[in-house]
Amino acid sequence: MLEAFRVLEEEKHINKEDIIETVKESLKSAYKRRYGQSESAEVEFNEKTGDFQVYTVREVVEEVFDSRLEISLKDAHAISTAYELGDKIRFEEAPKEFGRVAAQSAKQTIMEKMRRQTREILYTEYKQRESEIMTGTVERFDDRFIYVNLGSIEAQLSRQDQIPGETFASHDRIEVYVYKVENNPKGVNVFVSRSHPEFIKRIMEQEIPEVFDGTVEIMSVSREAGDRSKVAVRSHNPNVDAIGTIVGRKGANIKKVISKFHPKRLDAKTGLLVPVEENIDVIQWVEDPAEYIYNAIAPAEVDLVLFDPEDEKKATVVVPDNKLSLAIGRRGQNVRLAAHLTGYRIDIKSATEFEAMEAEWDALEEAAALEAEELSEDNQYAEDILSEEQD
């Protein structure tokens, strides 16, 4: 018994005291089920032998009404003449009749404790890895997920968390970003992603020493996985160029980053595996929001950035006419990524459109001024008439 407790404690991380208490409660419960009460039952554990003893306590009385709780003075004297009325006598019970039930109950309780304890250990282990990259093995597939073995648990990689077009086979080794860990009665769920913006950030921390040590900080990432990303960076060392550090000499650093999350996909036309292309724009983060938005719209040029006085998170960006399509990007991608990167809702206007808007604003202001002037004249006229009538 003691050896079994030691194994459970070392391998399943269940405290011996918890197991002993569980067995005691199970024995008392089984005794009550057999005899209809457990008030008189006491259970003790012998630390030396590893045995459990069950005792019942009976009070010495003149007349017995409940033999489970009481013993007559006559019967008590048969045991020892020293007993008196009101004394308590302990009797050891042989739990043959209820021991089997108790053992089964204790087993079920201990198994439940083991499941709960294992779940808690798994949850704690993987909760600590949240927001980190882990390497796992593709195990199996279904309609919703790719299941990735991370060592002691299968993580779930959903379709939306995959890079569009990427394909995997069983036993492939892949890197994934752990973005959520849940603990529920059915078990621990670990959700991972390869399309998450933070996936790029963590890869850069792995591959670029200046990012890992904090010399260059990644301030924001906006990503449309498998196609294009924008990464805003700044340097905490005036002698270190943030963008140059991320890109590396002849693009060496950015190539290392890209190789980490650019899998191959099956080309439907050729039937060949080709790399998944995803371009990364690295831009300079600055504190001034207008300049930050200017940088984020790159590679398009920007003439002017205006902020809405009624909405601090809305900006109008004016670009040359011939740069409008570049600023907006294919299917609006460039401005969409810039908006996500900066946290501003961005409205792109060409210079011609903006001039037309300005002309309209000027006309409205002029009309408003004229209306105000006419109203002032009408008020003055009314005052003059009133004054004449009073005279």
127 CB-contact burial (10 Å; exposed 0-12 / middle 13-18 / buried 19+) = middle
User: What is the reported pLDDT for 271?
Assistant: 77
d(C-alpha 101, C-alpha 105), whole Å: 6
189 CB-contact burial (10 Å; exposed 0-12 / middle 13-18 / buried 19+) = middle
Q: In terms of domains, do 134 and 101 share one?
A: no
Do you know the residue count of the chain?
Answer: 391
More confident residue, 41 or 13: 41
Nearest to 25, CA basis, from 114, 109, 111, 116:
109
- Phi and psi, residue 140, nearest 5°: -155, 175
Query: Of the residues 170, 193, 216, which one is the last residue of a structural domain?
Result: 193
167 has a pLDDT exceeding 70: yes
Domain holding 383, by residue range, is: 289-391
User: What is the reported pLDDT for 240?
Assistant: 95
pLDDT in tens, 194-228: 999 999 999 999 999 999 999 999 999 999 998 89
Q: How confident is the model at residue 68 (pLDDT cuts 50, 70, 90)?
A: confident
Q: In terms of domains, do 9 and 116 share one?
A: yes
Q: How confident is the model at residue 56 (pLDDT cuts 50, 70, 90)?
A: confident
Q: In terms of domains, do 101 and 139 share one?
A: no
Q: Could you tell me if residue 54 is inside a domain?
A: yes
**pLDDT more than 90, % of the chain:** 46
Contact call for residues 5 and 45 (beta carbons, < 8 A)? no
Q: In terms of domains, do 122 and 133 share one?
A: no
Q: In terms of domains, do 156 and 61 share one?
A: no
d(C-alpha 98, C-alpha 90), whole Å: 19
Query: Of the residues 126, 151, 176, which one is the last residue of a structural domain?
Result: 126
262 has a pLDDT exceeding 80: no
Q: Please state the rounded mean pLDDT for residues 247-251.
A: 92
User: What is the reported pLDDT for 27?
Assistant: 75
pLDDT in tens, 220-232: 999 999 889 999 9
- Phi and psi, residue 239, nearest 5°: -90, 0
d(C-alpha 229, C-alpha 201), whole Å: 11
Q: Could you tell me if residue 255 is inside a domain?
A: no
User: What is the reported pLDDT for 390?
Assistant: 57
Q: In terms of domains, do 11 and 105 share one?
A: yes
Q: In terms of domains, do 27 and 85 share one?
A: yes
pLDDT in tens, 76-109: 888 888 889 999 888 887 766 555 766 677 677 7
Query: Of the residues 169, 193, 217, which one is the last residue of a structural domain?
Result: 193
User: What is the reported pLDDT for 18?
Assistant: 78
User: What is the reported pLDDT for 208?
Assistant: 95
d(C-alpha 70, C-alpha 296), whole Å: 87
User: What is the reported pLDDT for 147?
Assistant: 96
Q: Could you tell me if residue 211 is inside a domain?
A: no
Q: What angle do CA 9, 14, 18 make, to 5 degrees?
A: 110
Q: What angle do CA 292, 205, 207 make, to 5 degrees?
A: 115
Q: Does residue 152 sit in helix, strand or coil?
A: coil
Q: How confident is the model at residue 62 (pLDDT cuts 50, 70, 90)?
A: confident
CB half-sphere exposure, 43, CA atoms < 13 A: 21
Q: Which two tokens stand for residue 185?
A: 């009665």
Q: In terms of domains, do 154 and 57 share one?
A: no
Instruction: Compute CA 291 distance to the chain's CA centroid, rounded to the nearest angstrom.
Output: 33
Q: Could you tell me if residue 383 is inside a domain?
A: yes
DSSP state letter for 15:
-
324 has a pLDDT exceeding 70: yes
- Phi and psi, residue 103, nearest 5°: -60, -45
Q: In terms of domains, do 42 and 60 share one?
A: yes
Q: In terms of domains, do 80 and 154 share one?
A: no
pLDDT in tens, 331-361: 999 999 999 999 999 999 999 988 887 776 6
Q: Is the dihedral of CA 163, 166, 169, 175 positive or negative?
A: negative
User: What is the reported pLDDT for 130?
Assistant: 95
User: What is the reported pLDDT for 346?
Assistant: 95
CATH number of the domain within which 153 lies:
2.40.50.140
pLDDT in tens, 105-152: 767 776 777 778 778 888 999 999 999 999 999 999 998 999 999 998
378 has a pLDDT exceeding 60: no
299-305 LR contacts (CB < 8 Å, sep 24+): 299/326, 300/326, 300/327, 300/334, 302/327, 303/351, 304/354
- Phi and psi, residue 177, nearest 5°: -100, 125
In the block, which residue shows the tokens 């990735």? Answer: 148
Domains in the chain, number: 3
Q: In terms of domains, do 138 and 178 share one?
A: yes
Q: Could you tell me if residue 143 is inside a domain?
A: yes
CATH number of the domain within which 311 lies:
3.30.300.20
d(C-alpha 347, C-alpha 343), whole Å: 13
Q: Does residue 301 sit in helix, strand or coil?
A: coil
DSSP state letter for 250:
G
More confident residue, 389 or 347: 347
- How large is the C-alpha radius of gyration of the chain? 39
Q: In terms of domains, do 390 and 307 share one?
A: yes
- Average pLDDT over the chain, rounded to whole? 84
CATH number of the domain within which 79 lies:
3.30.1480.10
